[in-house]
Amino acid sequence: MILRTGSRAFTLIEVMVASAVLALGMLFIYQGFLNSLDVFDYYASYLELAPLANEKIWQAQDELRCLGSQAKIETRGEFLKAGKPIDWDLSYNLIEAESGLYKIDLAFSWKSAVRRAQILRSAYALFDEKE
């Protein structure tokens, strides 16, 4: 009876190394997939909120153009969009008193996955005393 010493089976170390390499590969694939989902979620929210941000800027521009320093503009608030709480913050500053030039800054922010996403808008308004 002849005993064969060379077997064709895998050793435990080879199986463990192959499993570790496979797990690392899957980890990188899932990480890329989840990052792309996060970016998609951000842009889906951005597409819904960008028109609202533009509308808020236009309202502030209109009030500052017509009323100047007498304008009563709401500067912060919160609302729900698709079940997500959206915070907004608006600020305006007089840049040039002689011409009545104002700078308007608006920030919309919301929780998106693990980070806080933002939309930032800036615009200018010119107070017209004739209106």
Distances (CA, A) of 6 to 2, 14, 16, 18, 127: 12, 16, 21, 21, 91
Please tell me the predicted confidence (pLDDT) of residue 7: 66
Q: What is the pLDDT of residues 83-93, one digit of tens each?
A: 889 999 999 99
Calculate the dihedral angle through the C-alpha atoms of 67, 69, 72, 74, rounding to the nearest 10 degrees: 120
Give me the mean pLDDT over the 3-11 stretch: 70
Query: Which region, left, alpha or beta, applies to residue 36 given φ > 0 means left and ψ of -120 to 50 means alpha?
Result: alpha
Ordered by where they begin, the domains of the chain are 12-126 (3.30.1300)
pLDDT in tens, 105-119: 999 999 887 788 899
